[in-house]
Amino acid sequence: MIDTNTLYITSAVSRAAFLVIFMATVLSQPSERYLWHWITALLTSTLGSSLMFIFGAQAEIPVLVRGSIYVLFLASLVFSWSGIRLFHSRRTHYSYLLLLTLVPSLFFTATIALGASLRVMLAFIYLCSALLAGLVTYEILKPPRERLLSQYVVAFAFACYCLVLLTPALGLISGIVAPEMLTSGHEALLLDQVTAILVYFGYIAMASERANLRLKQLAETDPLTGLANRRGINQINDNNLSSQGTSVIIGDLDHFKRINDELGHEGGDIVLKDVGMRFNRITRNNDVAMRWGGEEFLVVLPNTDLQQALIIAERLRRLIEDEPFMVDKSSLKVTISLGVSEIQAEESGFDAAIDRADQALYDAKKGGRNRVCQYTPKIV
């Protein structure tokens, strides 16, 4: 059987090793605030484990030292929670961090110094810790903007933490567990080391997975308009080809070369950027709008038949025509021609529908521009 001191020192050393590894991740992405919160969580838990090793062999740990240990471990949970919130771009008030860290620890230290029951106060601190671990688990499992596989490993680890902390709290309250038993829980210490590995490697995996996703998004995003580029067609999978119909719209700005010639490329870029914003305004959550090239735009409309797509295309046309574009404090009227087509049931991709929409766009240009045309087969 491994003795308790050995477990304490391996816990502190393993956390210190994670700290060194994690610092490399932080330094590679210094602007990501959530990484600094996670490294603070790792640092405070390392200090807490070190204090447990130093004072764990003593028959009676001084009240102030015990309180400091609880402050450090609570701070680790609190900064893990705030890091998760920042990772998912959720608002975090720093006053909450101080409140959640200091209030339970100061309350514990003050009441013990005044002669309160150690059993009751330990139960209180373990319940607070279990609540924080549960809060972290909830923040991870809350519907995120982007789903990462690695975050569920971290959620599992914190759920284990929650159970490990909740069990002694209930044992203390019921009288099954004596306060002295909590200083030498081999199983709890071993589980702590295993879950710590899952948490901190999980954090590194989350940061790496997020970075890779962002690189992929940058590669598939047009930097001027913020819409997807031609590579963005890859983000559309078979789920977008619904049984209720999928349609495509191709739009091309009318006389855009004249705009570039008269206002310069900077003026043309302002127009393109504004057009991208208007496409975003009109499209729905599941629609995919992209800059197809130059002044040409493409929209893929899942769960949309041809008639519905024509209505959306007309709304786009009117939105471009009715709201003048502001370029260098001057008002500029811009129009757009659009072609619409629907993916046929037997088609497994977008290429044929895009070709048909392109032919419809040609018809719109030929018919006088600033109009919507649907694809109609040519009669030979």
Domains along the sequence of the chain with CATH: 4-219 (1.20.1070), 230-374 (3.30.70.270)
Q: Using CA atoms, how far apart are residues 13 and 253, in angstroms rounded to an integer?
A: 63
Tokens representing residue 192 in the block:
């702590």
Tens of pLDDT, residue by residue over 331-344, are 999 999 999 999 88
For 347, phi then psi, to 5°, come to: -90, 140
Contact 158, 80 (CB under 8 A): yes
Q: Using CA atoms, how far apart are residues 66 and 56, in angstroms rounded to an integer?
A: 10
Residue position matching structure tokens 């948490």: 199
Tokens representing residue 163 in the block:
């159970």
pLDDT at 59: 57
pLDDT at 316: 95
State the Rg of the chain over Cα.
30
pLDDT at 366: 93
- 349 pLDDT band (50/70/90 cuts)? confident
pLDDT average, residue stretch 229-254: 76
More confident residue, 140 or 245: 140
pLDDT at 58: 59
pLDDT average, residue stretch 81-100: 88
Of 325, 331, 320, which Cα lies nearest the Cα of 372?
320
pLDDT at 83: 93
pLDDT average, residue stretch 222-247: 75
Is residue 55 predicted with pLDDT exceeding 80?
no
| DSSP3 helix / strand / coil % (the chain, rounded to 5) | 65, 10, 25
Tens of pLDDT, residue by residue over 307-331, are 999 999 999 999 999 999 998 888 9
pLDDT at 299: 94
Which DSSP helix (H) or strand (E) runs through 104? helix 94-113
- Average pLDDT score, the chain: 83
pTM comes to 0.66
Tens of pLDDT, residue by residue over 149-166, are 888 888 998 998 898 888
Is residue 17 predicted with pLDDT exceeding 50?
yes
- 278 pLDDT band (50/70/90 cuts)? very high
pLDDT average, residue stretch 181-209: 68
Q: Using CA atoms, how far apart are residues 19 and 14, in angstroms rounded to an integer?
A: 9
pLDDT at 237: 56
pLDDT at 379: 55
